[in-house]
Structure 1
Amino acid sequence: MKAKFMVSAALASTAVFTIASAGTAMADSAGDCPDQAACLYYNSNLGGASAIDNGDNIANYGTWKFYYTQSGSGGQNGYLQYVKNNAASISSGNDPGGYRVFYNSNYAGVYQTIGGNSWANLNSQLKNQNASGRHL
C-alpha cells in the first residue's frame, strides 16, 4: 500500500512540474519577436496574431494591422485587425532600451514601458486602448 502511494505521489508531482514548466517557459521568453524590434499581440500572454515594429516609432496604430500568425496560443485571433485599440500584450524582443505603448496617438497620454528583452500584458488602462508606441 505504501509503495502504491509513493508511486502515485511521484507521478502527481511529475505532472504538476511538467505543467508548471510549460507555463513558465512562455513567461520567461520574449516570444518570437525579432532582434531590435517590438511586437504587439492581439491576445494576452503573447497570443494571437502579432504586429512587428522593426525600429520605427508608430505615431498612430490606426493603419497598422496584425499580419503575423503563430501556431497555438490563438495564433489566428486578430489576424488583419487594426492594432489601434486591439493589442493585449507586447514583447520588446532584444531591443536593449525597451518600448513604450501610449493611450493616445502621437505618443501622448497614459503609457506603459516594457524593458528590453522582456514582455508584458498591457495594463488595464492600455489593454485594447492603445494608439501609439515608440522605442526607447
Structure 2
Amino acid sequence: MLRNTRGQNLDQKLEKLLAEMLTQGFENAPISRTSVQELLRLKSRSTLVGRRGEKIDAARAAQLKASGSYDDGKRRRLLLEDQNEILKKKVEELQNARDHYVEQLLTIVQQLQSKGVNIEESLVVLRPNRP
C-alpha cells in the first residue's frame, strides 16, 4: 500500500515540481495551489499552507513576472522592456557560443585535412540536398 507523501519528502517533491513548472512557463504549466495539489496527488490543500504555501506563492509570482504579467494579470511596459533586454543578452550569448563552436569545427576540419583525411566524403551525409 502506498503511503501519502509527507514531511521532507513532500517538501522535496514540491520544490522539484515548482522548478519544473517554472521552466515550462506560465502558458504550459501555470502555478497555483490547486494545480500543485493535483500534480502531487494530495487529497487536501491543508498540507500546502505555511512555508509550502509561501513557496508556491513565490514561485507563482516569479512565473508571472517571467511571463510579463503581474498578479493582477496585466502586462507592464517596463517589465516587457526588461524581458526584451534579457532576451537580447541570451541571443548574444548564444551567438557567441555558436561562433566558438564553428571555430572549433573549422580547426578540427583543418587538422584532419592536414593529415590527409578526405573530409568531403565524411561530411556528405550532413548536406541537406544530397545527390
TM-score, normalised via structure 1 length? 0.26
- Structure number having the greater strand percentage: 1
More helix, by proportion:
2
TM-score by length of 2: 0.27
Q: Which has the larger Rg?
A: 2
Structure with bigger RCO (C-alpha 8 Å, 6+ apart): 1
